[in-house]
């Protein structure tokens, strides 16, 4: 009865009684399965030779038919599993599309270029896209450079149609390296605003005004927008202020036009304040450099307000009562900030009770003191008890 049921399940519907050869084929199949489970390390060919030595040709034929019936059934019940490419995208993914996706993944994630050589990433690509290859690191760097040049040319084409552009600039240092970043903003014909990043470059040397001027002028020149940038907004750093004071436009458009259109204006120039420069002498001077052309300067209003809050407010210290309260309060704040910055144990205590690390002031971050005090005020309002426990654990007078 068992043999009949097996044959029914195997061959898809035959209900005849099994003959002797079919029964023997089932026995051989069962013996092979048990031997394979008992001796997993034994070669399959050896097991077949041992089991099929005394089997007749009719039994072998029935065994083969039985195996084919099982294969047909398995093929119907278990269709081919789709790969990652079929699941993610029904359309065909070309090699160029895969390369572009990998490039965007690395650039947008700010990942190191060596990630392209990671064995796990290679395994993912090989399994998900079996017919595709992953590009090498030199190829990746070349593609990034090509895309950067293409994007720069597109920006130049777009900005060539504009008449007015405003920019922002900032310089900073991190990990003993200096950088400058410049963005551009303009209004389109449909009154929509467009922002873009023009450059993010390394600065060699100190952030002196002439270095900043040279770098900004070279960026404006590379995009061919020196005559279109009318304002540049920066913070109130003395280097930026002096930079624009020294290399700002000498004449406005209105003044230069009137001076050129009216030759009579030449007679109105005071000879005592005019310096006659010999062009040939200028060319012979080795140290002579043409001045950098920079737009008008705007300062961050938020930075100016920060100066009022941090510098000008010190005038209130002339009041003895306010001075006493201010010094006492900030002494406790500074003690708490120093404990977190100088001791990992103290930082762990703060994180344990508050769930976060405190924001601390930084002399080179002009808004950091405001943020640090705001963080403490928020903790005082939401978890004053825990803040008192922290002060006691760190031996700070409350």
**Angstrom distance (rounded) from CA 361 to CA 75:** 68
What pLDDT is attached to residue 1? 39
Using CB atoms within 10 Å of the CB of residue 340, give its burial: 0 to 12 exposed, 13 to 18 middle, 19+ buried.
Answer: buried
Which of the two residues, 181 and 393, has the higher pLDDT score? 181
Q: Which long-range contacts (CB under 8 A, 24 or more apart) does 199-206 make?
A: 202/177, 202/178, 203/171, 203/178, 203/179, 204/178, 205/178, 206/178
pLDDT at 267: 38
Domains of the chain: 2-77 (no CATH), 84-152 (no CATH), 163-284 (3.30.420), 314-393 (no CATH)
Mean pLDDT of 287-303: 75
Mean pLDDT is lowest, of 16-20, 291-295, 371-375, for 16-20
Residue 275's pLDDT is what?
42
**Band of pLDDT at residue 71, cut at 50, 70 and 90:** low
31-35, 69-73, 140-144: which range is least confident on average? 69-73
Distance CA 135, CA 142 (A): 11
Give the three-state DSSP class for 99: helix
Predicted confidence (pLDDT) at residue 216 exceeds the cutoff of 50: yes
User: What pTM was estimated for this model as a whole?
Assistant: 0.56
pLDDT tens digits for range 161-186: 888 999 999 988 888 888 999 999 99
User: Tell me, what's the pLDDT at 168?
Assistant: 93
Pick the closest to residue 251 from 281, 227, 273, 282 (CA basis).
227
- Dihedral sign from CA coordinates of 390, 391, 392, 396: positive
pLDDT for 249:
63
User: Which of 299, 364, 293, 305 is CA-nearest to residue 168?
Assistant: 299
């Amino acid at each position: 009865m068992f043999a009949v049921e097996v044959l029914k399940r195997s061959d898809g519907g035959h209900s005849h009684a099994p003959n002797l050869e079919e029964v023997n084929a089932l026995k051989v199949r069962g013996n092979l399965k048990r031997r394979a489970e008992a001796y997993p390390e034994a070669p399959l060919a050896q097991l077949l030779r041992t089991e099929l030595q005394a089997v007749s040709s009719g039994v072998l034929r029935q065994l083969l038919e039985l195996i084919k019936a099982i294969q047909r059934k398995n093929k119907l019940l278990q269709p081919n599993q789709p790969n990652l490419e079929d699941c993610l995208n029904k359309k065909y993914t070309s090699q160029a599309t895969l390369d572009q996706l990998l490039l965007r993944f690395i650039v947008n994630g700010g990942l190191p270029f060596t990630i392209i050589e990671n064995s796990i990433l290679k395994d993912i690509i090989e399994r998900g896209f079996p017919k595709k290859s992953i590009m090498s690191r030199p190829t990746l760097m070349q593609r990034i450079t090509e895309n950067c040049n293409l994007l720069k040319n597109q920006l130049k084409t777009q900005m060539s149609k504009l008449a007015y552009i405003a920019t922002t600039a900032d310089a900073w240092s991190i990990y003993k390296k200096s950088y400058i970043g410049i963005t551009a903003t303009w209004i389109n014909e449909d009154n929509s605003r467009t922002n873009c990043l023009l450059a993010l470059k390394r600065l060699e040397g100190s952030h002196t005004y002439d270095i900043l001027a040279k770098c900004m002028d070279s960026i404006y020149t590379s995009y061919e927008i020196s005559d279109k940038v009318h304002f540049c907004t920066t913070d109130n750093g003395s280097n930026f202020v002096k930079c624009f004071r020294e290399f700002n436009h000498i004449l406005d458009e209105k003044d230069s036009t009137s001076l050129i259109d009216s030759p009579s204006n030449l007679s109105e120039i005071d000879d005592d304040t005019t310096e006659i420069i010999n062009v040939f002498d200028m060319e012979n001077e080795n140290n002579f450099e043409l001045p950098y052309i920079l737009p008008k300067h705007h300062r961050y209003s938020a930075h100016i307000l920060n100066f009022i809050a941090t510098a000008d407010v010190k005038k209130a210290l002339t009041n003895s009562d306010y001075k006493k309260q201010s010094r006492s309060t900030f002494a406790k704040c500074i003690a708490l900030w120093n404990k977190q910055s100088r001791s990992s144990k103290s930082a762990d205590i703060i994180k344990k009770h508050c769930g976060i690390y405190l924001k601390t002031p930084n002399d080179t971050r002009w808004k950091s003191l405001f943020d640090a005090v705001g963080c403490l005020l928020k903790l005082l309002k939401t978890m004053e008890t825990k803040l008192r426990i922290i002060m006691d654990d760190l031996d700070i007078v409350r």
